[in-house]
Chains A and B, each alone.
Chain A
């Protein structure tokens, strides 16, 4: 049973560029959340997708957007990259919303903005 997978593993971009990160949830999961983990900090919630809609959003600007596909996989898009966007981006999946269940995390995508 495959867990949460993310691609690419590493990415280097230049300021002002756009980037797309991808996530496939754990088998049987239909909800995907995205987190940003800056160096030396805990993950910060970006947003969550369920039934192809954004359900909750953290304190991130509109430059951060996402999408969920019918197969439950998800993309995170970041436009007009800033140096401060350099971080580990984590995808987490879970089953449904409004439950007490834990989230399962992928290995992350390390984004470096130069």
Chain B
């Protein structure tokens, strides 16, 4: 079965510093990977996705993610963090072609950006 793991429950970073939120995946077949962000009392907002092609994917709000097949990782990054980036971040993988409509989410990483 497909799965993703987010090893850090919380990440703390100072405003203006680079940030990384980690995600590793386990899939059979080609991975379809996603990052979503959730603000308090809000639904999930799509940030970016990796389907195929360039290993560095650029997304919304200045976020990017690096796909690394050998390390089965898909880490979310941003060169300069903003206080407004503080939120809950979820990594997700879409199931294989057999069960293509299922998304599997990680447990989430809370990002705290301090002024």
Contacts and interface: CB of A to CB of B under 8 A. Distances in A.
Interface of A: 4, 6, 31, 33, 35, 40-45, 48, 50, 55-56, 58, 90, 92, 97-98, 100, 102-108
B105 A42 contact: yes
B41 A58 contact: no
B102 A45 contact: yes
Nearest to A108: B43
B42 A42 contact: no
Given A33-B103, A44-B105, A45-B104, 4 more contacts: A92-B103, A104-B46, A107-B43, A108-B42
Contacts of A42: 90, 92, 105-108
B22 interface: no
A100 B32 contact: yes
B43 A105 contact: yes
17 contacts: A35-B103, A41-B108, A45-B102, A50-B101, A55-B101, A56-B99, A56-B101, A56-B102, A92-B44, A98-B97, A100-B49, A100-B94, A102-B34, A103-B103, A104-B46, A107-B42, A107-B43
A57 to B, nearest CB: 9
B72 interface: no
A105 B44 contact: yes
B45 interface: yes
B105 A105 contact: no
B100 A98 contact: yes
B85 to A, nearest CB: 19
